[in-house]
């Protein structure tokens, strides 16, 4: 009986030695792998707050201001936007519409979503062309451009009280005749008709206007509107 017990004990001892050895080897291998592999960095994207993009959030954020209305200049475009396959040097097209202005306004924005090469944001070689009742042209993206969230496309947001532009492409090429901080908001007068032109000025094809809109708010007590004239 004693002999059997000794054999059993010896067996247990051997199993224990094997288990401990396997565990030690496993820990060594894991630590070696961890040392050879660079540590993984987890990037936590900070939550965007309304105060980062107050004007954008007021018109298109998760909780837009219900008092703000919109007139979509690209309303007649397909779901993916108005597309032109030619560079502007070959075909400078665009959208031309007329609008009737009714009532009194407290604020207004010009908002643009556009791409070139069918999918790329506008570069410094490109610009957006916007003209309203004789004022405007090739817009200058300077300090007047309001903050918007990052995107794969160009998002341009302007306060209509302060728009800067080159009246013509030659003015832009020569960097002359800049019209700075022009107040287009003053054109929103009750009873007048607005003549609007919108286009992407680029030497590259695949010019797409996904959205061109004027977002506006009525003055207290006024039932204002900007309505397209057929």
pLDDT tens for residues 136-180?
999 998 888 999 999 999 999 999 999 999 999 999 999 999 999
DSSP-derived secondary structure letter, 49: -
Kindly list the domain boundaries of the chain, sorted by start residue.
Answer: 65-228
Query: b/e map of 203-226 (b: 16 or more CB within 10 Å)?
Result: ebbbbbbbbbbbbbbbeeeeebeb
Strands 225-228, 95-102: pairing kind:
antiparallel
Better-predicted residue by pLDDT, 7 or 3:
7
Nearest to 210 by CA among 134, 120, 107: 120
Whose structure tokens read 């004789």? Answer: 134
- Tell me the per-residue pLDDT of 119-134, one tens digit each, with 9 for 90 and over: 999 999 999 999 999 9
How far, in Å, CA of 56 to CA of 186, rounded? 21
- Tell me the per-residue pLDDT of 182-227, one tens digit each, with 9 for 90 and over: 999 999 999 999 999 999 999 999 999 999 999 999 999 999 999 9
Right CATH for 65-228 from 1.10.20, 3.40.50, 1.20.1070, 2.60.120: 2.60.120
How far, in Å, CA of 16 to CA of 27, rounded? 16
Please list the residues that pair with 99 across neighbouring strands.
194, 228
Residue 230: count of CB within 10 angstroms of its CB: 5
pTM: 0.78
Nearest to 59 by CA among 74, 47, 71: 71
pLDDT exceeds 60 at position 23: no
Please list the residues that pair with 98 across neighbouring strands.
195
Q: How confident is the model at residue 8 (pLDDT cuts 50, 70, 90)?
A: low
Structure tokens at 125: 């070689």
Q: Taking a C-beta distance cutoff of 8 angstroms, is the pair 196, 98 a contact?
A: yes
């Amino acid at each position: 009986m004693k002999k059997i017990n000794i054999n059993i004990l010896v067996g247990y001892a051997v199993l224990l030695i094997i288990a401990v050895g396997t565990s030690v080897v496993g820990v060594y291998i894991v630590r070696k792998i961890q040392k050879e592999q660079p540590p993984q960095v987890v990037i936590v994207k900070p939550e965007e707050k309304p105060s980062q993009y107050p004007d954008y959030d007021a018109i298109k954020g998760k909780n837009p201001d219900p008092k703000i209305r919109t007139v979509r200049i690209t309303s007649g475009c397909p779901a993916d936007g108005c597309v032109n396959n030619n560079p502007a040097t070959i075909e400078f097209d665009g959208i031309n519409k007329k609008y009737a202005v009714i009532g009194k306004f407290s604020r207004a924005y010009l908002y643009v979503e556009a791409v070139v090469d069918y999918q790329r944001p506008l570069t410094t070689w490109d610009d957006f062309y916007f003209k309203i009742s004789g004022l405007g042209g090739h817009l200058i993206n300077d300090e007047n451009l309001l903050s918007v969230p990052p995107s794969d496309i160009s998002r341009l947001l302007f306060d209509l009280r302060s728009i800067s532009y080159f009246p013509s492409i030659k003015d832009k090429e020569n960097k002359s005749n800049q019209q700075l901080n022009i107040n287009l908001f003053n054109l929103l007068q009750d009873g007048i008709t607005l003549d609007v032109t919108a286009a992407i000025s680029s030497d590259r094809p695949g010019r797409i206007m996904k959205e061109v809109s004027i977002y506006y708010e009525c003055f207290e007590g006024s039932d204002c509107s900007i309505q397209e004239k057929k």
